[in-house]
Amino acid sequence: MNEANQTIASALDKKLKEIGETLDKATECSFGRVCSSDYVDGENQPNVGKNLTNEEKTKYGGVGSGPPDGWEPQDEENARNNSALPSKDNLNQAASAPNRNGLTDAGRALQKHGGREGSVYSYSSQKASVLNQEAQTIVSEILSNPNTKIESRIVFENKQRITVVEATAPDGRALRFNADGTRLIGFREPSSK
């Protein structure tokens, strides 16, 4: 009797496994996933792109594989933080916004920094038109450099935490804008490390 029960239990267990596998295949197919019957094994599914460069993969509509030319973990955070950064053209335009006394925001920033001892910024005349022109040249130099880094940052100004957009040239000169990049706050001296 005991042997008969084991035979029945074994047959029942086998049938339940078959039903489970059938249900699994059915749900895989019905929910848009690849059906297990669509492929035999990994050996028959070669990586056809394994010998292609990242450029070739991109050309054919694929994606490259991992670093060094690909997407790294810190790129995800940078993309999230900097996804809405203003364009260099918009920043350039913001720097030329009128300030006061005939100066633009950039002209005012140059006037403030150019008079400081040891500043990397200088001007040839206190005349508003000259300050504006020379300041806009500095802004254009920084923004047109392909290695200028533009990023959104949180800084402390007058004991207040504010979000700014900074454009930092490789030589350390920087432009600081308000959070949406519509106003130039000022020039920044290179850090003295």
Secondary structure (3-state) at 162: strand
Residues 114, 123 contacting (CB under 8 angstroms): yes
Q: What is the DSSP letter of 125?
A: -
Domain limits of the chain? Answer: 88-188
Q: 10 falls in which pLDDT band (50, 70, 90)?
A: confident
pLDDT digits (tens, 9 = 90+) for 141-170: 999 999 999 999 888 888 889 999 999 999
Report how far residue 80's alpha carbon sits from residue 28's, in angstroms, rounded to the nearest whole number: 33
Backbone angles phi, psi at 111, to 5 degrees: -60, -45
Higher-pLDDT residue of 73 and 21 is 21
Report how far residue 94's alpha carbon sits from residue 182's, in angstroms, rounded to the nearest whole number: 5
Residue 111: name the closest of 96, 98, 93, 123 by CA: 123
pTM value > 0.75: no
